[in-house]
Amino acid sequence: MDIYRRTASDNGEALGRAIPGANFRCIAESGPSFGGRYWHFHVDGVVLSRLEVDQASVVTTDERLPSFNVWHVMSPRCSANGQDVGVTDLVAVRPGEGGTMRSAAAADVTTFGLDTSLFGEAPELELPFGPSSAPRAGRWRVASIVPRQRFVTLAQTVLAQLDAEPQAFASPAVRVALRNSMIEAIAAMGEAGTFRPDRSTIGRHTRILMRFERALEEAGDRPIDMAELCRKSGASRRSLEAVVQQRTGRTPLEYLRWRRLWRALSMLRQPSADTTVTGVAFELGFWHLGRFAATYAATFGERPSETLARAMGTKPRAPLENSALSG
């Protein structure tokens, strides 16, 4: 199956849905906006992709396609699974596993994936980065930064050309030439380097975070309490707090509120006829309307009533009073 696509979005949820092969969640580390782009190129068992985010972000994913070995080349000021990524590191994601990326600023991740069948069906290629060279998740330390830079440059060039001339992808000769170029660049990174597996605790923490994210996803907009989060994550409260804090920079409940604040933005931007700020706030668990409005305004640069009014083509209502409810 041969695929080429490009997606740009100012909505982290929409961008995450555009990324194939796993459930991705993209969320800005801070406000007031989100911007990102994703390119995906797949030809005959070789995948090339690139994710760009315009702000500090947290990106999480659950199990990837079980038939692919996936490796990420991350820009500076990024961490993967709670550990900083060095300038000569390639970050491995084993088939069927997920992970977390956190960036301190705008960032990009250039990724290649190799179908595991290639290692047996085409041994003549002497492909690196197979199951035997990376038996579990970890880092490949490239001996020199040069082949890593060349791979990223090639990826940018390929994707820019396909953006400019998308019809080129219809040519079998072009697809073969691009595949050959990618394999050459990938092999160069693997010929001089060493693999360092992650500690076993990192894999365990990754699984906890994956279950935590899945619990949030399954809850949708409905209420979910800490006990349920712990049960579904398979971790005690203290363990869950430690893992989520390390991976996202927030406690579990802070992360939940942050995600739902962005969900509120999405709901107010795309309202139904009976949408109200109060209704959105209560539906997402923001019981203190004044604090919700203040946090929303501090994050997105306008009151929630202004977002809703613009979406509905009306004048904004008066600011919310500083009220609180219990229940």
What DSSP string describes 87-119?
A: TTEEEEE-TT--EEEEESSSEEEEEEEEETHHH
**Between 32 and 63, the higher pLDDT residue:** 32
CB 152 within 8 A of CB 74: no
Which band of pLDDT confidence, cut at 50, 70 and 90, is reported for residue 122? Answer: confident
The pLDDT value recorded for residue 254 is 93
Closest CA to 141 of 76, 89, 187: 89
Closest listed residue to residue 69, CA positions, set 101, 112, 108:
112
Tell me the H-state helices in 30-144. Answer: 117-121
CB neighbour class for 199 (10 Å; exposed up to 12, middle 13-18, buried from 19): exposed
Q: What is the average pLDDT across 41-45?
A: 90
Asked which of 176, 198, 220 is the last residue of a domain, the reply is 198
Q: In which band, very low, low, confident or very high, does the pLDDT at 132 lie, cut at 50, 70 and 90?
A: low
Domain that holds residue 268: 202-312
Residue 317 lies in a domain: no
Q: Residues 134-148: what's their mean pLDDT?
A: 84
Residue 135: which of 59, 47, 203 has the closest Cα?
Answer: 203
Residue with the bigger pLDDT between 125 and 136: it is 125
Q: Which residues contact 107 (CB under 8 A, 6 or more apart)?
A: 52, 53, 56, 57, 74, 75, 77, 78, 101
Q: How confident is the model at residue 264 (pLDDT cuts 50, 70, 90)?
A: very high
Q: Are 218 and 256 in contact (CB under 8 A)?
A: no
Does 171 have pLDDT greater than 60? yes
What pLDDT does residue 326 have?
A: 33
pTM: 0.84
pLDDT band at residue 324 using 50, 70 and 90 as cut-offs: very low
Q: What is the pLDDT of residue 272?
A: 93
Q: Which of 198, 229, 258 is the last residue of a domain?
A: 198
Whether residue 165 sits in one domain with residue 234: no
* pLDDT at res. 121: 84
Task: Give me 235's structure tokens.
Answer: 């971790």
DSSP state letter for 222: S
Mean pLDDT of 267-279: 94
- The DSSP bridge partners found for residue 274 are none
Residues 111 and 229 in one domain: no
Check pLDDT > 90 for residue 32.
no
User: Where is 50: in which H helix or E strand?
Assistant: strand 46-53
| Mean pLDDT score, 42-51 | 92
Q: Helices 226-233 and 252-269: crossing angle, nearest 10°?
A: 110
Q: Quick one: 207 and 183 in the same domain?
A: no
| Predicted confidence (pLDDT) at residue 1 exceeds the cutoff of 70 | no
* Per-residue pLDDT band at 134 (split at 50, 70, 90): low
Q: Where a domain ends, among 198, 228, 253?
A: 198
Is 89 in the same domain as 34? yes
- E strand spans, 149-251: 193-197
Q: Do 106 and 81 share a structural domain?
A: yes
Q: Same domain, yes or no, for 142 and 287?
A: no
Residues 302, 229, single domain; the answer is yes
> How much is the mean pLDDT over the chain?
87
Residue 252 DSSP code: H
pLDDT at 317 over 70: no
Please tell me the predicted confidence (pLDDT) of residue 241.
96
